[in-house]
Amino acid sequence: METKTCTKCHQTKVIEDFYAEHRSHCKDCERRDARYRMASLDNKIRTAYRDSKKTARRFGVYDDLTLDDVFYTFAISGGYCNYCGKLAGRDLQLEHILAMSTGGHNTLANITTSCQACNLRKRDESLLTHLQTNSFDDIELISTLIDRVAYRLGVNRMEVVDILEQQQQDYTRRKVMEIMERADKD
């Protein structure tokens, strides 16, 4: 039986314990390294970026988001959710303020970070609807988010509020239409 020594763990193992004869690390070491790489914040950010690009293509929305934009957004969050203010750390997710499924763009002005719970709870809701249906301990976070969007768009905060109000009206109209369509089927 042919053996080989892993250059990482320095254990002598049978060749079948390596993915290929020419590989220098055993399967166990390669798996451990892959788990570490996949769990790294850098990889999570890159994956969030790639996923946002795919979603933008699927919905046909405007997309000029760069990987640097996503790294920047995660960096300024300091690991905190921009909706509830809780420390999310490595579980922080990229969040589109105006959902791409409802026409929101994949741009720096439309992204923030949120914890998984807030991201799942918001879904494709308009931000104003989300604010009205969920309790927030620190409304200052939302005010700061609106200021950030205004700055990124180069408009004043009232124009952002107008955009958010329009989004809420569109969201409500779409939900009413879905309910009516379901009622017509029954």
pLDDT surpasses 90 at 184: no
What does the pLDDT read at residue 68? 97
Q: Mind giving me the DSSP string for the chain?
A: --EEE-TTT--EEEGGGSSSTT-SS-HHHHHHHHHHHHHSHHHHHHHHHHHHHHHHHHHT--B---HHHHHHHHHHHTTB-TTT--B-GGG-EEEESS-GGGT--BSGGGEEEE-HHHHHHHTT--HHHHHHHS--S-HHHHHHHHHHHHHHHTS-HHHHHHHHHHHHHHHHHHHHHHHHHHHHH-
- The CATH code of domain 40-185 reads 3.30.40
What is the percentage of the chain residues whose pLDDT exceeds 90? 61
**What digits encode the pLDDT tens for the residues 42-83?**
899 999 999 999 999 999 999 999 999 999 999 999 999 988
What are the structural domain ranges in the chain? 3-38, 40-185
Across the chain, mean pLDDT equals 90
Claim: this prediction has a pTM higher than 0.85: no
**What digits encode the pLDDT tens for the residues 87-129?**
998 789 999 999 999 889 999 999 999 999 999 999 888 888 8
What does the pLDDT read at residue 143? 87
